[in-house]
Structure 1
């Protein structure tokens, strides 16, 4: 009798242990199950917090989070070193989207200028946004009236290694001006304005949206003059560099500017990487162009962001997702 009892106890323990190791029952349909949706995160590289790229990039992130998050996409805009740094970070996979100038994107893709021997072949275009205008600034009393008058003068061409410096040298070369016949200074925007104010240079290049605060401040204390980039120089540039567009700086943009001035511009643009899924870039492109009013609320430069001009000056291959959107809209 005692052996039978021991056997029964052991058998019961084995049965209970076996039941405990079985998979738990499937919860009933009325039992809520906690799930974590898969989210594809996009980092948007912008520029310095005081610049134009940062508020516009932040507004783009907000648009994505409001209108594309439901499809499993979210975005964060971060400050950065702007165009050149952004192109390099896209290439290394440190971000998914970036704001940069279309000339810098062109250099990166083709491995020239500051990207010589280090091309970024995975960079792809989404849209061009607004013009970054080449402004050749001088003072009225300098007597400089045409781009050809710069020969033999002291000309600031931008900070060392900057996109501005590259643009300035290309434009001057088209006019027959180089370091053999003209003195070049390498100064940033503020330094250009200060040097003009102090009379240590004759003219300087500034590449930015208009009006530019550095030029506005200079015009408040000096009579400024913006030198025209004539049609023949634009045509020469366009033959060699597809990213340039023509731009008219309107009269009254700056104090004392009493007539329209022809110039050229590069374009701020939104770029991405080749490997970002087509469907995601399609949704991002669509959301941005359906809500450009929210971009304008962030910065007035966004008034120039339109679907009609989204491919103006596009200097690198389009991402397939953006291409799909533009085909639907009949732009390509």
Structure 2
């Protein structure tokens, strides 16, 4: 009887100890789970207006990285364009985003749109693609050349956008700016004003095809004006960081022949204080076979994505440490 009682006491003691052990483990696990949730990092990727190619591209990057990289959440941020993107980075209001090579060139030197606002904390991450400066009108206007724009109403895009900056610079260098009635409408307002006859033409930058132009030509007879060789040479001699660009037949259904114009380089830049590992992990997934496929399905322009190191060296734009690490491991 005593043995039975002793065994019962021992058994009860063991059960109580096991219950205490279980209850003591629960508080330990909960903080760890909460800590893991808190480890997630959030970053914004500045793009353009929602009708622009940059917003589509940034949304693709955000979707890929957020879905494939543990602990990272990237959001595409709507902005006025690349000039504002760099200004937002300079004021710590966004983390990374798209820029033109020319915009970055001016920012790190305190020139042009960044006169007296030099931003030395800008770093290069990757070369994305080249974009075209599209001179857009409708067949009903009778406008067929750049000279026909003299005396006409032309929107060059919203102030703060890279498209407006390049367009304004181009028009001034080739001697057309003072002969045109310039306005700075958003891309969507530019297209609707052209449709309604309140504008004669507008200028928009973007990799072919630009979504806003696909929409325009679906309802109207769109015309893209060519840039003559003399003006192309004048502009590119003055701005060697820009490029020649030819819009191919098939780029838009309305094109019967290639259209020569000028273009610009689109690059991915980030603040220098964004952690090295964040940029490294983003590049690793974006340059993977799966990542490239995903991005190219989002926007064909990603087929041109490359390290772009030579282009960055040309404008003296330093690589982000995360980019240096990735490219050194993947030569």
Shorter-chain TM-score bucket reads 0.7 to 0.9
Say if 1:42 and 1:302 are closer, same or farther in 2 by CA, change over 3 A.
Answer: farther
Deviations 1:50-85 (A, max 9, x none): 65444543443454456553xxx6232142324333
Shift of 1:190: 2.6
Say what the alpha-carbon RMSD is for the aligned residues: 3.4
SS in 1 for 2:164: helix
Single out whichever of 320-329 and 114-123 deviates more from structure 2: 320-329
Deviations 1:35-63 (A, max 9, x none): 55694735132345665444543443454
Partner of residue 268, structure 1: 266
d(CA) in 1 for partners of 2:150 and 2:135?
Answer: 13
Shift of 1:139: 2.7
Partner of residue 286, structure 2: 288
d(CA) in 2 for partners of 1:327 and 1:114?
Answer: 33
d(CA) in 2 for partners of 1:59 and 1:125?
Answer: 19
d(CA) in 2 for partners of 1:62 and 1:254?
Answer: 27
Partner of residue 91, structure 1: 90
d(CA) in 1 for partners of 2:300 and 2:209?
Answer: 10
d(CA) in 2 for partners of 1:215 and 1:49?
Answer: 14
Say if 1:165 and 1:66 are closer, same or farther in 2 by CA, change over 3 A.
Answer: closer
d(CA) in 1 for partners of 2:301 and 2:138?
Answer: 30
Shift of 1:122: 0.2
Say if 1:310 and 1:294 are closer, same or farther in 2 by CA, change over 3 A.
Answer: farther
Partner of residue 28, structure 1: none
d(CA) in 1 for partners of 2:130 and 2:115?
Answer: 25
SS in 2 for 1:130: strand
Unaligned regions of 5+ residues in structure 2, if any? 1-27
Single out whichever of 139-148 and 250-259 deviates more from structure 2: 139-148
Single out whichever of 163-172 and 321-330 deviates more from structure 2: 321-330
Single out whichever of 80-89 and 126-135 deviates more from structure 2: 80-89
Q: TM-score, normalised by structure 2?
A: 0.74
| Aligned residues of 1:49 and 1:79 also touching (Cα < 8 A) | no
Shift of 1:136: 0.2
Partner of residue 305, structure 2: 306
| Aligned residues of 2:53 and 2:210 also touching (Cα < 8 A) | no
The residue correspondences of 1:1-332 to structure 2 (distance < 5 A) are 36=35, 39=39, 41-47=41-47, 51-65=52-66, 68-69=69-70, 74-81=72-79, 82-179=81-178, 181-290=179-288, 291-297=291-297, 299-307=298-306, 310-311=308-309, 314=312, 316-330=317-331
d(CA) in 2 for partners of 1:128 and 1:165?
Answer: 21
| Aligned residues of 2:221 and 2:254 also touching (Cα < 8 A) | yes
| Aligned residues of 1:144 and 1:150 also touching (Cα < 8 A) | yes
d(CA) in 2 for partners of 1:198 and 1:97?
Answer: 37
Deviations 1:71-112 (A, max 9, x none): xx6232142324333322322334432234444333332323
Say if 1:279 and 1:91 are closer, same or farther in 2 by CA, change over 3 A.
Answer: same
| Aligned residues of 1:266 and 1:313 also touching (Cα < 8 A) | no
d(CA) in 1 for partners of 2:29 and 2:197?
Answer: 74
Partner of residue 27, structure 1: none
| Aligned residues of 2:51 and 2:187 also touching (Cα < 8 A) | no
Single out whichever of 117-126 and 223-232 deviates more from structure 2: 223-232
Unaligned regions of 5+ residues in structure 1, if any? 1-30
